[in-house]
A and B are shown apart, each in its own frame.
Chain A
Amino acid sequence: MKQKYVFVLAAMLALIGLSVFAYKWQVLGFPVSRDQETPVWTIESSISFESGPGSIKVNLHIPTLTPGFRTLNENSVSRGYGFSLNYGTGGREAQWAIRRTDGTQTIYYRISVFADASNDQSDTTPPFPPPPVINEPFRTAVDVIVADVKEHSADTASFTSELLRLMNDPSPDPNVELLRSDSDTNARYVETVTTILAAARIPARLIRGFKLEGRQRNAEMLTWLEVHDGDDWRYFNPTTGEEGLPDSFLTWWRGNEPLVSVEGGSNVQVGFAIQENHLAAVAIAESQAAQRGATLIDFSLYSLPISTQAVYSVLLMIPIGALIMVFLRNFIGIDAFGTFMPVLIALAFRETKLFWGVILFTMLVALGLSIRFLLDRLRLLLVPRLSAVLIVVVMLMLIISLASHRLGLETGLSVALFPMVIIAMTIERMSVVWEERGAVDAMRAGLGSLVVAVTAYIFMGLSWLEHLIFTFPELLLVVLALVVLAGRYTGYRLLELRRFGALADN
Chain B
Amino acid sequence: MFAVANKLREAGVLGLNERNVDFITRLNPRRLYPRVDDKALTKELALEAGMAVPELYGIIRHQREVRAFADIVGERNSFVIKPAQGSGGDGILVVIGRSQRRRNFYRLSSGVLISAAEIAHHISNIVSGQYSLSGNPDKAIIEYCVQFDPVFADVSYQGVPDIRVIVYRGYPAMAMVRLPTRASDGKANLHQGAVGAGVDMSLGETLTGVLDNEVVDEHPDTGALVSGLRIPQWNFILHSSARGYDVTGLGYLGVDMVIDSEHGPLILEMNARPGLSIQIANCTGLASRIARIDEIHDEKAGPEERARLARREFPAERQTSIEF
Contact = CB atoms under 8 A, between A and B. Distances in A.
Contacts of A383: 135
Contact of B18 (A379, A437, A487, A491): A491
Contact of B15 (A379, A487, A496): A496
A504 B11 contact: yes
Given A379-B130, A438-B192, A490 B17 contact: yes
Interface in A333-386: 333, 379-383
B81 to A, nearest CB: 16
B70 to A, nearest CB: 23
Interface in B183-228: 189, 191-193, 213-215
Interface stretch (B239-247, B276-284, B294-302): B276-284
B13 A500 contact: yes
A142 to B, nearest CB: 80
Interface in B1-50: 1, 4-5, 7-9, 11, 13, 15-18, 21-22
Contacts of A504: 4, 7-8, 11, 13
Nearest to A488: B21
A406 interface: no
Contacts of B284: 503
Contacts of A497: 1, 4-5, 8
Nearest to B19: A490
Contact of A436 (B7, B87, B213): B87
A494 B8 CA distance: 12
B235 interface: no
Contacts of A438: 191-193
A487 B20 CA distance: 10
A330 interface: yes
A500 B279 contact: yes
A435 B15 contact: no
A293 B203 CA distance: 78
Contacts of A488: 21
B17 to A, nearest CB: 5
A128 interface: no
Contacts of B213: 499, 501-502
Nearest to B122: A379
B251 interface: no
A504 B128 CA distance: 48
Nearest to B191: A437
B303 interface: no
A436 to B, nearest CB: 4
A506 interface: yes
Given A379-B130, A504-B4, A489 B17 contact: yes
A502 B8 contact: no
B88 interface: yes
A493 B17 contact: yes
A381 B138 CA distance: 12
B83 interface: no
Contacts of A229: none
9 contacts: A330-B17, A379-B125, A436-B87, A438-B193, A490-B17, A490-B18, A490-B21, A492-B13, A502-B280
Interface of B: 1, 4-5, 7-9, 11, 13, 15-18, 21-22, 87-88, 90, 125, 128-130, 132, 134-135, 189, 191-193, 213-215, 276, 279-280, 283-285
Given A382-B129, A492-B15, A503-B283, 5 more contacts: A489-B17, A489-B21, A493-B17, A497-B5, A506-B283
Closest 10 CB pairs of A and B: A382-B135, A436-B88, A504-B7, A490-B18, A492-B15, A497-B4, A500-B13, A490-B21, A437-B191, A438-B192
